[in-house]
Amino acid sequence: MADTMLFDRDPEDLTLEEAAAELERLAREIADHDRRYHGEDAPSISDAEYDALKRRNDAIEKRFPDLVRSDSPSLRVGSAPAEGFGKVTHKIPMLSLDNAFEDGDVREFVGRIRRFLKLDPLQGAIAITAEPKIDGLSLSLRYENRKLVSAATRGDGTVGENVTRNAMTVSDIPDILPADAPDVVEVRGEVYMRHDDFQALNARMEAQGTKVFANPRNAAAGSLRQLNADVTRSRPLRFFAYAWGELSETPCETQYDMVQMLGKWGFSVNPRMKRCESVEELLEVYHGIEEERALLDYDIDGIVYKVDRLDLQQRLGFVSRAPRWAIAHKFPAEQAFTVLNAIEIQVGRTGALTPVAKLEPVTVGGVVVSNATLHNEDYIKGIGQDGEPIREGKDIRVGDTVRIQRAGDVIPQIVDVDLDKRPKDSLPFAFPTECPACHSHAVRDVNPTSGRTDAVRRCTGGLVCPAQAKEKLKHFVSRHAFDIEGLGDKQVEFFYELPMEEGGIRQPADIFTIAERDRASPIIKLRNRDGWGETSVANLFAAIDARREMPLNRVIFALGIRHVGEGNAKLLARHYLDWETFAGSMKAAADTGSDAWTELVGIDGVGVTVANAVVEFFAEEHNRQAVDALMNEISSQPMERVEADASPVAGKTLVFTGTLEQMSRDEAKARAEAMGAKVAGSVSKKTNLVIAGPGAGSKLKKAEELGIEVIDEAAWVEMARAFSG
């Protein structure tokens, strides 16, 4: 499978564009497998392969939380609720919807319904409602004796997260229902954020130096799923009611009337909902709202059609996890033509040169687009990742009229070039072979194992390169690294430009001396600068001081070494335990004949690529200086030694048998060994524990005969998790 090649790449190493593209591909691929599995009962891959796809998706989303798509497998039915919130089991599952993309799909949908109900073509019309599909996250609200008792997200459709306290802060959600409402009412609908509220919230977050949300849906999801309900209260969330779960009594006979009733009970319901009598009428609503879409105050991504009569809904029932009586007619990806004014090259933290299209601003689906991703050099030439032509091989040139597309949250892309409009004197784009920020050589590495030339061209300037230096600083202060409050991307840019004696920051150590230099500054104090005041300066200095002690794994991660994401940083930290041992060993490992090198590549989970990257980092004199300067200012907290014999399987012999569903055999073996166990291939008297998955045969039998303890995979995963923390 060609796709799995990408799995070799650490999410840390993906550019924003690559991550977005991979998430798009994974969403499509996983949805496809879901359909085969649930809809057709004919899976084409094993559960383990499926899980690997999901895990890959999760890992990339973790690294790029802003890229989480509205159709992400992690948000869809099929994903388990996140940790941190209590769980709520939905009495009636929260279903999802099948999709229609073309007018013909809608005709088929109505035809299917008529056939299912055995309605004679001569028999009258069947009423179907049409309403906007709100792009937010669904929520189920349970009222008992007219009091809101619980609010739950959809989760996997059966079990969701308990977000009751958070939901209570949303003003569109009534705490109490009127006296005529039934005793048990579950109201379902969508939590969303309006465009103006979203923009104001992002402006506020930016001013505070916190990360902004990529789109209103992410903002709504992120705001509702806050462990602290006070944060949710401060966010402008809204709610549209459009469905229900359990009802002790159903007061109406149709979908339309029920929704109007929800309105009477105090919920906001969508004013654009219509009851239609024919496919033509449904399509009229669809195309009408599609035209209006750009002017709406909130994001919608299609129109939902629902059979109006509730008794017919009941008869139609559902297939797998979607009702037969409803369908979502999605809007097509939005496209527009505009002119490519320039191609700008951005330099990332690890030196990757990423081309960005600077477009003549154009409105696409209500959003003004002036940038689009160009991925890399080959993409501009019209060559895709696998060497195949894209855009029919047309290259992209400055001055071209291009067709751009914005689909959901994905960064706008150039999908086509209008060659008829190409200026006569235009030339193919010459991708720079020198870094635009520091003029060092920019090269495309050749992967030593695959022999393939990397699609990404990188600046070789390292810390000499101001662009890389700024990006590295941004990474250093980011949430999972030193997490310095009030020192966001904007502030890093600002401090980078200041003269050193006035509080400039060029490398991590400078962050920790800024207060001292500011105090001593004979020129301008920070508090006298535009946008700063006594309090904000004091807060920033306090936030910096609060980070003078940092666990070793975060220090290693913060250095921004290529291939060393949070996971690898933890592996290294757990192995070397303290900074001195780690740094000393990395310097010694420069000699690949040394014991230090053998030890490094021998760490479980650390391959040659990671080892090389770390060693190269420490071999650079300027990195060493920067790191030494940093360690003068901070102290790295050593890791606690995880004694292998603290694990329940230390010194024991384990045998895995049957199918493991949550991890591969290789991973299980590696985990067991990391826990101090030996893994054997067959059961004997020496075996202490057998982990048996489904399909276990003779080995399990033998274990039972010998009276050896047997556990299932869930118990094993629990054990491994408890040990690795």
167 contacts ligand IVH (rule: CB under 6 A): no
Strands 326-330 and 300-307: antiparallel
Q: For residue 199, what are its two tokens? A: 């923009």
Nearer to ligand IVH, 192 or 723 (CB): 192
> Which residue of 57, 138, 153, 405 would you call a contact of ligand IVH, by CB under 6 A?
138
Nearer to ligand IVH, 95 or 279 (CB): 95
> Which residue of 326, 404, 555, 677 would you call a contact of ligand IVH, by CB under 6 A?
326
d(CA 89, CA 573): 39
DSSP state string for 561-572: -TT--HHHHHHH
Number of residues engaging ligand IVH in binding (CB under 6 A): 14
Site residues for ligand IVH, window 78-97 (CB under 6 A)?
95-97
* Cβ at position 457, least distance to ligand IVH in Å: 40
d(CA 18, CA 7): 12
163 contacts ligand IVH (rule: CB under 6 A): no
By C-alpha distance, which of 242, 241, 263, 261 is closest to 251? Answer: 261
3-class DSSP assignment, residue 364 = strand
Strands 549-551 and 653-657: unpaired
Residue nearest to ligand IVH (CB): 138
Q: For residue 203, what are its two tokens? A: 């402006």
* Cβ at position 328, least distance to ligand IVH in Å: 5
Strands 352-364 and 367-373: antiparallel
Residue 275: how many other CB atoms lie within 10 Å: 17
d(CA 311, CA 315): 6
By C-alpha distance, which of 522, 527, 529 is closest to 501? Answer: 522
By C-alpha distance, which of 21, 120, 103 is closest to 305? Answer: 103
Nearer to ligand IVH, 151 or 477 (CB): 151
By C-alpha distance, which of 668, 701, 697, 702 is closest to 685? Answer: 702
Strands 709-711 and 689-692: parallel
723 contacts ligand IVH (rule: CB under 6 A): no
Tell me if 404 sits within 8 A of 338, measured CB to CB.
yes
Nearer to ligand IVH, 23 or 352 (CB): 23
617 contacts ligand IVH (rule: CB under 6 A): no
> Which residue of 33, 133, 238, 699 would you call a contact of ligand IVH, by CB under 6 A?
133
> Which residue of 167, 173, 214, 243 would you call a contact of ligand IVH, by CB under 6 A?
243
134 contacts ligand IVH (rule: CB under 6 A): yes
> Which residue of 34, 161, 186, 190 would you call a contact of ligand IVH, by CB under 6 A?
190
> Which residue of 78, 216, 323, 503 would you call a contact of ligand IVH, by CB under 6 A?
323
> Which residue of 24, 34, 131, 197 would you call a contact of ligand IVH, by CB under 6 A?
131
| Residues with catalytic roles | 133
Tell me if 572 sits within 8 A of 602, measured CB to CB.
no
* Cβ at position 275, least distance to ligand IVH in Å: 14
Nearer to ligand IVH, 377 or 409 (CB): 409
Q: Give me the amino acid identity at 475.
A: H
* Cβ at position 95, least distance to ligand IVH in Å: 4
* Cβ at position 132, least distance to ligand IVH in Å: 6
Tell me if 360 sits within 8 A of 341, measured CB to CB.
yes
* Cβ at position 190, least distance to ligand IVH in Å: 5
416 contacts ligand IVH (rule: CB under 6 A): no
* Cβ at position 71, least distance to ligand IVH in Å: 8
Applying CB under 6 A, the residues found at the interface with ligand IVH are 95-97, 131, 133-134, 138, 190, 242-243, 304, 323, 326, 328
